[in-house]
Structure 1
Amino acid sequence: MLKTRVITAIILLAIFLPVTLFAPVGAFGALIAFVVVFAAWEWARLLKLGGAGPVIYALVAAVALVASTRLGTGVEEPRPLFQAAAIFWVIAGPYVLLRKPTLAQGAWRAFLFLAGIVVFVACWHALVAARMQGVAFVLSLLLLVWLADIGAYFSGKAFGKHKLAPAISPGKTWEGAIGGWLVVMIVAAAAAFLHAFEPTLYSALLAQWGAVRTLLALTLLVAFSVVGDLFESMMKRQAGVKDSSGLLPGHGGVLDRIDALLPVLPLAMLLLG
């Protein structure tokens, strides 16, 4: 299992890293579009859409993405789209985690099919907009989520005692979430102090919001990375599956890798708008 996981990670890095670092924005956007369409396919599967339904839903997401913009440079940030995605995560996200409605039936299912299109298209636009601000900027945005996740994992292993959401994801703890937040704060402070690789998400927030509000903004983003992770965990739990799919051997599915990014991306771009 570990060998498979490592091999998959190496292959993914070999594809995504050169495209992110060196390819034109259009090529980066095309690659992210490919990822988003597969994530939409998994979203439909978790909502128990049978037969060819998930494929059709993925095609609808692809058409919506293409209709929203062209895959290339000169893309304008669609703030209304970011706002719609942010409203979903700020209102529906916590509500679902607290009340735990059945997501794959009735009105919730229909709502999540519609909301999913908005979420995935907003994800694409946010990543492309971040890439247009520079390689360091988009990497710093991704790094925030990765650091929060890694910090939470190791802090939870070392200190975790109080369950964060036992009915949804029993492995997550409050100590882990706080540890992830601390790691993000430390790295952001170090990057700001050293003025490393600017412009980054951290330097942009600091310039626009000042130190105290930047701390609050980063705290908000870390918190919603947890919301995104738990939201997908709940979808999987209700669907009775461990992973969103088997597309990435050893890692699960695409949604398993980007769930925490889905709320963070539009929120980050709105904070800098």
Structure 2
Amino acid sequence: MLKTRIITAVLLLLALLPTILAGTALPFALLTLLMIAAAGWEWSRLNGVTGPSALVFGAVTGALAWGLHLLVGWEAAPPWSWFMASLLWVLGGGYALRGGPEQWPHATKTARMVLGMVALIAAWLAMVEAKSTGINFLLSIFCLVWVADTAAYFGGRAFGRRKLAKSISPGKSWEGVWSGMLGVIALAFFWAYYIDVQFAVDSPSLYQILLQRNALPWGLLALVFLASMSVVGDLFESLIKRAAGAKDSSQLLPGHGGVLDRVDALLPVFPLAMALSSLSPLQ
């Protein structure tokens, strides 16, 4: 299993990295659009839509995302759209987690499908705009989620005592969450005061925007909020899988499960990162 997991991770990196480093956003947009469509297919299956209907839902999700992108263009979307998407995650995610896996199936299927489609499309549009902003900016958001997850995993294993959400994800602990937040703060200072300074980056990182254009306490609070929302995204998908009685969202990625299993924490973080960065953009 570990060998399969490593091979899949390497192949994913080999496919994704050239599009991130490309001079234009189009290759990254097309590759991630395919991933979002696949995630839409997985979402529909987890919510009781199977067969050709699930494929149609995934295709429609991708088509609507592309259509909205063409409507907006490669320019920046209005900041209010990112705040609306972030508010949806804060309120909707919190409400769903409070209800737990038992309450999720009681929501109408239409509401669940629309919610998933909106979350996936918003995240994809935010990813494309982040790529258009610059490679350094895009990577700083990706790395925030990866470091938060990694630090939470090791911190939880070493210090975890108090369960975070036992009915949703028994392995997560509050100590793990705090470790993830500390990991993100350490990453932010290193990136903003070393990488952004010592290397010829093409754009400011998210950390430079948050820490150097604002009062330090505000920047730290924003980073903690982003780290906590990555946990919300992870828990939200775990809730849906538990409600569906599924271990993984699919088997599209051998050793890793499905696309949703890999992007769940990214879904709320990207729109929120775009919203926060719009408050204090670097010129």
Which TM-score band applies after superposition, normalised by the shorter structure?
A: over 0.9
CA distance in 2 between counterparts of 1:269 and 1:209 reads 16
Partner of 1:218: 223
Say whether the 8 Å CA contact 1:155–1:179 is kept in structure 2.
yes
Task: Name structure 2 gaps, 5 residues minimum.
Answer: 279-283
Please list every run of 5 or more consecutive structure 1 residues that lacks an aligned counterpart in the other structure: none
Judge which range, 75-84 or 225-234, deviates more.
Answer: 75-84
Within 2, Cα distance between the matches of 1:264 and 1:216?
A: 14
Kindly report which structure 2 residues correspond to 1:121-270, keeping only aligned pairs within 5 A, or say none: 121-194=121-194, 195-196=196-197, 197=201, 199-270=204-275
| Aligned-partner Cα distance in 1 for 2:65–2:167 | 34
In structure 2, what is the Cα distance between the partners aligned to 1:55 and 1:80? Answer: 31
Matching residue's letter, 1:166 = K
2: CA distance between counterparts of 1:178 and 1:215? 13
Asked if structure 2 preserves the Cα contact closer than 8 Å seen for 1:36 and 1:124, the reply is: yes
Aligned counterparts of 1:225 and 1:132: Cα–Cα separation in 2: 22
Identity across matched positions, percent: 44
Paired residue for 1:19? 19
The verdict on how the C-alpha distance between 1:268 and 1:22 changes in structure 2, with shifts beyond 3 A counting, is: same
Contact 2:249 2:258 in 1 (8 A): yes
Residue identity in the other structure for 1:145: V
Q: Which moved more, 1:13-22 or 1:97-106?
A: 97-106
Alpha-carbon distance, 1:71 to partner: 9.8
Task: Write the letter of the residue equivalent to 2:27.
Answer: A
Q: CA deviation at 1:90?
A: 0.7
CA offsets 1:56-100 (integer angstroms, 9 cap, x no match): 111221221122023997333244442332122111101111122
For normalisation by structure 2, the TM-score amounts to 0.91
Distance 1:182 1:162 in 2: 18
Query: Where does residue 104 of structure 2 map in the other structure?
Result: 103
| CA-based RMSD | 1.8
TM-score with structure 1 setting the length = 0.94
